[in-house]
Amino acid sequence: MKRQQNSLLSIFLIHVQQKMNEAERSEQFSIEEWSTHLSLMSDAIAQMESYLAVPTYEKKQILRGFLREIDSLQGDDYRNVHWTTVHFVQSGYLLKLDYALRCFVKQDFPYWVLSTMTTEIKNLTNYSWLNST
């Protein structure tokens, strides 16, 4: 079952990457920053697929490295909102990548992330990208 969930994450991230590639660069990011985000997404997806094929401790460490890189790119804008602390991230695309990577490397990461991704995939109006993988 875990392998199927991770495959679902890969499919989801390929879709996120496709949307990211089609999107115009936001004014908040320089061309170099946007290029870094695109390359991080591509490299992380390739590593996750490699990990799915042959899971090793070393590959899991590489995935953890991507999490550290995402954390540095997302910034440290934390604010108190209604009695809780909220992290205002720089990129929703990187947030989705972060969630997917955590599913690969953390045993106790909440199941709701997978449920959310499953729901988002089911709600897509264009399923053609699912058949191409």
Q: Does the pLDDT value for residue 5 go beyond 50?
A: yes
Q: What is the pTM of this model?
A: 0.78
DSSP the chain: -HHHHHHHHHHHHHHHHHHHHHSPPPTTS-HHHHHHHHHHHHHHHHHHHHHHHS--HHHHHHHHHHHHHHHHHH--EEEEETTEEEEE-S-HHHHHHHHHHHHHH-TT--THHHHHHHHHHHT-S--HHHHT-
Q: Cβ-count burial of 100 within 10 angstroms (0-12 exposed, 13-18 middle, 19+ buried)? A: buried
Does 115 score more than 70 pLDDT? no
* Range in 24-28, 88-92, 106-110 with the lowest mean pLDDT: 106-110
pLDDT digits (tens, 9 = 90+) for 59-96: 999 999 999 999 999 988 889 998 899 889 999 889 88
